[in-house]
A and B are shown apart, each in its own frame.
Chain A
Amino acid sequence: MKHLMLTAIADISESLRSRWFMVYTLVFGGVVVALFVSGLTESRIMGFTGLSRMLVTYLQITMAVLPLFVLITTVRSVAGDREAGIFEYMLSLPVSLASWFWGKLLGRFFVVFLPVVLAMFGAVAWGIFKGVEIPWIQVLFYTGFLISLAWCFLGIGMLVSTLARSSDVATGAAFLIWLFLLLFLDLILLGSLIKQGLPPETIIAIALANPLQVFRTGAMLLFDPQLVLLGPSAYVILDNFGETGYLLWALVYPLLVGSLCAWLGYRLFRKGDLP
């Protein structure tokens, strides 16, 4: 446990000093500021107003940006460290491979999760200051969704880093994974449904397996319990899961995907050559 904590702390402080972290923090902080400045909290669009409207927009932006940031920075850092010879030295110290791998994962999770949540809670604090009603249940669910999404892509990132032998290959693979998942969001799925004549169950199953789509639908469900925005596929989701069931799915499924990928990555890391 001591080694795990030491590795996590070392990874956190290494990340806090790097440029990507500054950019990353500025992006999410900047998004929140931009949403306030653009007067989104004052607008009423499709029934969403105030902080709720802002959080919906923030989450949609986060869905696109967070996975890419997590994937790229994780693979660049982990595969880059191995390439640069950092693994050769650090793993010559008597730290267990489990402590090293999971410590790195935990440290990185803290670093990628913190700015996103701080930005969101910054918005909430601003809302409290302005006397706006705070949708606490939604804020808590959103926090859960963000934990789940960050963990999911961190796990995928660690798996890619273990599989790829160079940071360039790892970065390319991470970008392709992100693009692939992004392409299978609901609008494109709908297009496929119309064009290919695929059974709706197949399309919905693909949507339910895509952690990005799961996150997105979960976030929508909080503000739109009937999923009017989603169209006819909402019936399948609500008939099979129900509102609470789907919210739980949106919380648990990405966590499971991330954990499975991380576990696979760890198994491969243990089996293979370390540096």
Chain B
Amino acid sequence: MIEFHGVTKRFRRVEVLKGVDLQIDRGDRVALVGSNGAGKTTMIRCLLGEYQCGGKVTVNGLEPRQHRTDVLKQVGFVPQISPPLKMPVGQLIRFAAGVCDSNPDNMIAVAQELGLDIRKIRRQPFNKLSGGQKQKMLISIALGRKCTLLVLDEPAANLDPEARHIFFQLLEERRDKAAMVISSHRLDEVASLVNRVVEMDQGEIVLNDHVADDVDMTSMLRCRLTLVRPSKAFAQTVSEWGFCDVRDETIWEGRVAGPDRLRFLGMLSRYAAILKGIHLDEAQDA
């Protein structure tokens, strides 16, 4: 579906991509990881036809630069940093749906699922929305149309746990219909969403591996946490995950989206010293 063949990109004297070879097939969910400056964004921009590059990039046999509209009609893109667009939310949706030949209602429906009521904010300038709202809008535009490739740059970074869970469900629905490239500088952020990991370092692919794909993206985990003593910082953090205090701020209960488990455990590791017990099991009513 996607082929990078000897792709190079140079900015003046700096070679940012050094002959990248990569093949991504339908159903592949690729985590594109690497530190800052590794070449992830450049690679994505080459894939979107935004950069001129050496070598060859094709999507379903078409070069993104030469067949721009045909290729991009198949691609849903969510950037890491939201563009500071001043246009109202309603107009942005109309514009995106117009150029993608899609139905704006589908985008609005996805936004609704993510907990964003477009009717209430349709007159608001996009750049005045909160970080989470912007992210939900961009996800809605990407997922609210038919596409066979999703390119997501740190897509869930600004989402609350509930919206993350719905977002994972939406990805699950497209699991077999589309390929996904999910870029992140941290593997634990995206590990459970993917079945392949491609790690980049200084413009080269240093790891290209398949990973265990057993996590059900729609699953939910029931969780009970016991602390040795109450902690304000801990209380604030778990409250953001939607947890409730069961007894004197020492026992907390809540639910964690299945694909979020690694990220959740990563968060808990910061409070290892005050954790007395962690109990996680799959909820039946996910």
Which of B50, B81, B96 has a CB less than 8 Å from the CB of A274?
B50
A17, B84: Cα distance in complex, Å: 14
State whether A10 and B81 are in contact (beta carbons under 8 Å apart), knowing that A88-B50, A94-B100 are contacts in the complex: no
Contact with B along A84-102 (1 / 0, CB 8 A): 1111111111111100000
Q: Which residues of A contact B73 (CB under 8 A)?
A: 94
A94, B83: Cα distance in complex, Å: 17
Known: A13-B91, A86-B83, A93-B72. 13 other contacts (CB 8 A): A3-B99, A14-B86, A84-B83, A85-B83, A86-B85, A90-B83, A91-B48, A94-B73, A95-B99, A96-B68, A96-B69, A274-B50, A275-B45
A2, B102: Cα distance in complex, Å: 13
A206 is an interface residue with CB less than 8 A from chain B:
no
A94, B72: Cα distance in complex, Å: 5
Q: Which of A210-229 contact B (CB under 8 A)?
A: none
For residue B76, which residue of chain A has the nearest CB?
A: A92
A38, B98: Cα distance in complex, Å: 49
Which of B72, B85, B86, B98 has a CB less than 8 Å from the CB of A6?
B98
Between A and B, 30 residue pairs with Cβ closer than 8 Å are: A2-B98, A6-B95, A6-B99, A10-B91, A13-B91, A17-B125, A85-B79, A85-B84, A86-B84, A86-B85, A88-B79, A88-B83, A89-B85, A89-B138, A90-B83, A90-B85, A91-B50, A92-B50, A92-B75, A92-B77, A92-B151, A94-B70, A94-B73, A94-B100, A95-B99, A96-B69, A273-B50, A273-B51, A274-B50, A274-B51
B87 is an interface residue with CB less than 8 A from chain A:
yes
A86, B50: Cα distance in complex, Å: 12
For residue A275, which residue of chain B has the nearest CB?
A: B50
Residue pair A89, B77 in contact (C-beta under 8 Å): yes
Q: Which residues of B contact A91 (CB under 8 A)?
A: 48, 50
Q: Which residues of A contact B52 (CB under 8 A)?
A: 271-273
State whether A14 and B99 are in contact (beta carbons under 8 Å apart), knowing that A92-B77, A94-B68, A271-B52 are contacts in the complex: no
For residue B69, which residue of chain A has the nearest CB?
A: A94
State whether A93 and B99 are in contact (beta carbons under 8 Å apart), knowing that A13-B87, A85-B81, A86-B85 are contacts in the complex: yes
Q: Which residues of B contact A2 (CB under 8 A)?
A: 98
State whether A18 and B87 are in contact (beta carbons under 8 Å apart), knowing that A88-B50, A93-B96, A96-B69 are contacts in the complex: no
For residue A97, which residue of chain B has the nearest CB?
A: B68
A87, B83: Cα distance in complex, Å: 8
Q: Which residues of A contact B87 (CB under 8 A)?
A: 10, 13-14, 17
Residue pair B85, A94 in contact (C-beta under 8 Å): no
Shortest CB distance A90–B (Å) = 7
Residue pair A92, B84 in contact (C-beta under 8 Å): no
Chain B CB within 10 Å — which of A2, A85, A86, A88 has the most?
A88
Q: Which of A94-120 contact B (CB under 8 A)?
A: 94-97
Residues of chain A having any CB pair with chain B under 8 Å: 2-3, 6, 10, 13-14, 17-18, 84-97, 271-275
A6, B100: Cα distance in complex, Å: 11
Contact with A along B40-78 (1 / 0, CB 8 A): 000001001011100000000000000011111101010
Q: Which residues of B contact A273 (CB under 8 A)?
A: 45, 50-52
State whether A10 and B79 are in contact (beta carbons under 8 Å apart), knowing that A88-B45, A93-B100, A94-B100 are contacts in the complex: no
**Chain B contact residues (Cβ within 8 angstroms of A): what range?**
20 to 34
Residues of chain B having any CB pair with chain A under 8 Å: 45, 48, 50-52, 68-73, 75, 77, 79, 81-87, 91, 95-96, 98-100, 125, 138, 151
A13, B95: Cα distance in complex, Å: 12
Shortest CB distance B18–A (Å) = 18
Shortest CB distance A13–B (Å) = 6
A14, B126: Cα distance in complex, Å: 11
Shortest CB distance B12–A (Å) = 11
Shortest CB distance A78–B (Å) = 14
Residue pair A89, B79 in contact (C-beta under 8 Å): yes
Residue pair A92, B48 in contact (C-beta under 8 Å): yes
Shortest CB distance A169–B (Å) = 15
For residue A86, which residue of chain B has the nearest CB?
A: B83
Residue pair B69, A89 in contact (C-beta under 8 Å): no
Shortest CB distance B35–A (Å) = 20
Residue pair B51, A92 in contact (C-beta under 8 Å): no
Q: Which residues of A contact B48 (CB under 8 A)?
A: 91-92
Shortest CB distance A22–B (Å) = 14
For residue A85, which residue of chain B has the nearest CB?
A: B83
Shortest CB distance A174–B (Å) = 22
For residue A99, which residue of chain B has the nearest CB?
A: B99
Which of A10, A14, A92 has a CB less than 8 Å from the CB of B72?
A92
**Nearest 4 Cβ contacts at the A-B interface:** A94-B72, A92-B77, A89-B83, A274-B50
Q: Which residues of A contact B96 (CB under 8 A)?
A: 93
Q: Which residues of B contact A90 (CB under 8 A)?
A: 83, 85
Chain A CB within 10 Å — which of B84, B98, B100 has the most?
B98
Q: Which residues of B contact A6 (CB under 8 A)?
A: 95, 98-99
